[in-house]
Amino acid sequence: MSATLSRRIGLFQAVAINMSQMCGIGPFVTIPLMVAAFGGPQAVIGWLAGAVLALVDGLVWAELGAAMPGSGGSYVYLREAFQYRSGRLMPFLFVWTAMLFIPLIMSTGVVGFVQYLGYLWPSMTKGQGDLVGLAVIVLVVLLLWRRVERIAKLATAMWCVMLAAVFAVILASYTHFSPSRAFTWPAHAIDVTHGHFWLGFAAGLTIGIYDYLGYNTTAYLGAEIKSPGRVMPRSIIYSILGIMVIYLLLQVGVLGALDWHEMLDQNSIASSSVASAVLQKTWGKSAADVVTVLILVTAFASVLTGLLGGSRVPYDAARDGVFFRSYSRLHRKHEFPTLGLLTMGAVTAIGFLIGRHTDLNTLINLLTTVMVIVQSFAQVLAVTVLRRRQPDLPRPYRMWRYPLPSLVAAVGWVVIYGYADRNAPGYHPIEWSLAWVVAGGAAFLIWSRFERIWPFAPAEIREEFRLTGVDSGTNSGQIVEA
């Protein structure tokens, strides 16, 4: 009998996993990027826009995750929704793209880790920073080489460290807060009739949603969540609301503590390590050193939880014969997907080196476009398709004011995707994302021919969760030939 994943993660641990992934190094390295995008303290608009997109998209994840709590998240949802017309194409393409964009997201955390380490180690060379980042990735993989309940406890502990780091920066910034710095915006800061504003808005929305990414981490661990019909939607919504409050306090506090012009100076500490700059200015160098260490732990925790969830993505696909079968194997003792973890770790290392030798903003735009084209757009559509195709599917959580949130989410993703080339000039993220999807389509044709499945055979329809219910997650659902 093959090994299966066990449901051991409760609500508190699920929220901790999501929030640790969401509030990693992101806000500590992207505040200067957000200010640069908007050209002043009106950058707070980007955080608000990102929060709105995260909330409406989170409702999509909440409905799908509660109804279909399987390992792999979007893979499961796209498989169930699009199997009727295109067989296994959509879940295959999702796994194909996820094996790229998930570790790229993790690589930004490692880039930020090395960036903040430079505050404590100012003489660190480029080569030394590269070696440190690669060593961090190896350590993360080694720590994940164990049972999931032990990792959940570790993530909870690191979540507490993350909260300590964030609240230390918030408290320090408000002890030396200047309302004039935070709320005096440049002339014509919000000129919606000018194209420059919308270009900055799109860049800010991209940065904002990047910082919120991670609210769906528990969806990838759906087969390991206790009472998923109740825990899954709550873990998503609670983590988004909690991080939204934290981010707004952090953003406004930093803008009130530092002159935003300093964040645009590439030679300034405020540009590379803005949180350390706040602490150094308000509480002194010793306090800045301590909080910088906490931020490093926070960055490490985000990479840890991200790879934890990401490594489960190819597992369910391989088990169903949609991806390489070797990815379906679990560790005999610790019961985790071994090859998925190793592959994600390797791609994270490659992404880290790319980010180190280009820039963080470019890396964010590249990973976002790859994610949007297959996962985000398709998943919004999947909610409607499943409501029509499987109206009797048990839905412990139903989207509030359906379909309005999914429509708002779709508009937000269109804005991010449509402006991607202009926000990363010279790197053509739209073209690269399309090329990657086309390559995935070609790979699928080769794979499906070898496996003798659609389009070279009738589509196999398996409505796994319609009959088994939300808490079973077994493979005993109805199977018919289309």
The whole-number pLDDT of residue 232 equals 92
- Cis bond leading into 403, ω under 30°? yes
DSSP state of 9: B
The DSSP secondary structure of 304-357, one letter per residue, reads HHHHHHHTTHHHHHHHTTSS-GGGGPBPTTT-SBHHHHHHHHHHHHHHHHHHHT
DSSP state of 41: G
Distance of alpha carbon 79 from alpha carbon 297, whole angstroms: 36
The whole-number pLDDT of residue 130 equals 95
The whole-number pLDDT of residue 239 equals 93
Alpha-carbon Rg for the chain, nearest whole angstrom, is 22
Distances (CA, A) of 188 to 40, 181, 202: 11, 17, 17
Walk me through the domains of the chain, giving residue ranges and CATH numbers: 13-481 (1.20.1740.10)
Distance of alpha carbon 471 from alpha carbon 14, whole angstroms: 16
Here the tokens at position 281 are: 């200015």
The whole-number pLDDT of residue 323 equals 78
The whole-number pLDDT of residue 468 equals 60
3-state secondary structure of 101: helix
The whole-number pLDDT of residue 147 equals 65
Give CA 54 to chain center in angstroms. Answer: 11
pTM value is 0.85
The whole-number pLDDT of residue 268 equals 86
Q: Residues 230-234: contacts with CB within 8 Å, 24+ apart?
A: 230/11, 230/66, 230/396, 231/9, 231/10, 231/11, 231/14, 232/14, 232/62, 232/65, 232/66, 232/69, 232/397, 233/62, 233/63, 233/65, 233/66, 233/396, 233/397, 234/11, 234/15
Give the model confidence (pLDDT) of 177-220 as tens digits.
999 998 888 887 787 777 788 898 999 999 999 999 889 888 87
The DSSP secondary structure of 237-250, one letter per residue, reads HHHHHHHHHHHHHH
Composition of the chain by helix, strand, coil, percent to 5? 75, 5, 25
pLDDT mean by block of 10 residues, the chain; 482 residues = 65 85 83 91 92 95 91 84 90 89 90 93 93 95 74 70 87 92 85 82 93 87 86 93 91 92 88 92 94 90 80 77 78 74 91 88 88 91 95 92 95 94 88 92 89 86 72 40 37
Residue 477 and residue 462 in contact, taking contact as beta carbons nearer than 8 Å:
yes
